[in-house]
Amino acid sequence: MNKFEWKKHSKELYLPKQKPAIIEVPEMKFFTIEGKGNPNSEPFKKNIETLYSLSYAVKMMSKKGMTPEGYFDYTVFPLEGYWDLDEKGRKLDYLNKDHLVYKLMIRQPDFVTEDVFHYAMDNVNGKKKAIDLEGVRFESITEGLCVQALHIGSYEGEPETFELME
């Protein structure tokens, strides 16, 4: 069986064009973690490390003799996230990244179950004691009808892309 590559099989979801487009985002499974603060901070970096460690633990299961039902080889999905501002940040007339709140997530293949999630948590906990697994969740998320566009440039230029999307 060939490796499932999201860049080839899920282009409409993961490789948007610069021109805004309306898409339907189906239910998908994710490992998620929530946080707040500047994305250049150490806690943000640790949250990303946690999600990737768990995602790679699932990917490598078959090499350790654990092959869940429906398992297939695949490329680990990219990091995704939801962003917002806390109440104080919303009152400012400029973007203060210290007031960002976020949910980071990495999509998981359909064969991932609660048992596979717990395997990954135990695996990472046993190998990487420095990784904080507190707050990590396994959840199904359905976005439904969405507008997406590829933003090229700095974060400060994102409002222009959002205006196009509106």
Q: Which two tokens stand for residue 9?
A: 């099989």
Q: Among 1-10, 112-121, 132-141, whose mean pLDDT is lowest?
A: 1-10
User: How far, in Å, CA of 52 to CA of 151, rounded?
Assistant: 24
The fraction of the chain above a pLDDT of 90, given in percent, is: 73
Task: Check residue 163 and give left, alpha or beta (phi > 0: left; psi -120 to 50: alpha).
Answer: alpha
Q: Where are the domains of the chain?
A: 1-26+142-166, 28-141
Confidence check: pLDDT of 130 > 80: no
Pick the CATH number of 28-141 from 3.30.540.10, 3.20.80.10, 3.30.420.40, 3.40.605.10: 3.20.80.10
pLDDT band at 159 (very low <50, low <70, confident <90, very high): confident
